[in-house]
Amino acid sequence: MEQVITLRKVFGEVFITIQRMPDNAFILAEWFGVQSVETVMQGGYRMLELIKEKPCSKLLNSNKNVIGSWDMALEWAQNEWTPQVRAAGLRYLAQVVPSSIYATMTIETLIQRINNDLEIRTFEDEAAAEAWLRSVPD
């Protein structure tokens, strides 16, 4: 595996880790804790940089450790992030949903907004999400 990128909030709390899997099979992003517009944008732009550096068509976006909603960043995710990652080569997005109903509702809203741009599936665990990503063509 390539290096793990760890982004932290002002007081040192990790809010996301990102890594490219071997053979560029997919990019794994794991989010943690309460998210803000700033953390969602910072993490999103870092994923975009990785995809631009070495195009990858698959992203496993794990929200299983997210607490609460991040719906304040939905408009940015729809209008800024999605078109840019799509243009950079992303095609498949596997979303692992958290136990938090609020975060899950936010993900469902995002899917409704961007489902025409990317092929998106939701999963309850990372193993199932990874299996799906490995089953779809590059």
> 79-99: per-residue pLDDT in tens?
999 999 999 999 999 999 877
CB 26 within 8 A of CB 56: yes
Distance (Å, whole) CA 138 – CA 136: 7
For the stretch 121-138, pLDDT in tens is 889 999 999 999 999 998
| Chain-centroid distance, C-alpha 36 | 15
* 12 belongs to a structural domain: no
The band of 2, judged by pLDDT with boundaries at 50, 70 and 90, is: low
* 127 belongs to a structural domain: yes
Name the residue among 64, 79, 69, 65 with its Cα closest to residue 106.
69
If one counts the domains in the chain, the total is 1
* 22 belongs to a structural domain: no
> Is the pLDDT at 100 greater than 70, yes or no?
no
> Is the pLDDT at 65 greater than 90, yes or no?
yes
* 112 belongs to a structural domain: yes
* 6 belongs to a structural domain: no
Phi first, then psi, for residue 134 (nearest 5°) are -70, -20
* 50 belongs to a structural domain: yes
* 1 belongs to a structural domain: no
For the stretch 26-63, pLDDT in tens is 999 999 999 999 999 999 999 999 999 999 999 999 99
* 14 belongs to a structural domain: no
Query: Could you tell me the pTM of the whole model?
Result: 0.89
Residue 75: CATH number of its domain: 3.30.750
Residue 118 sits in which domain range? 29-135
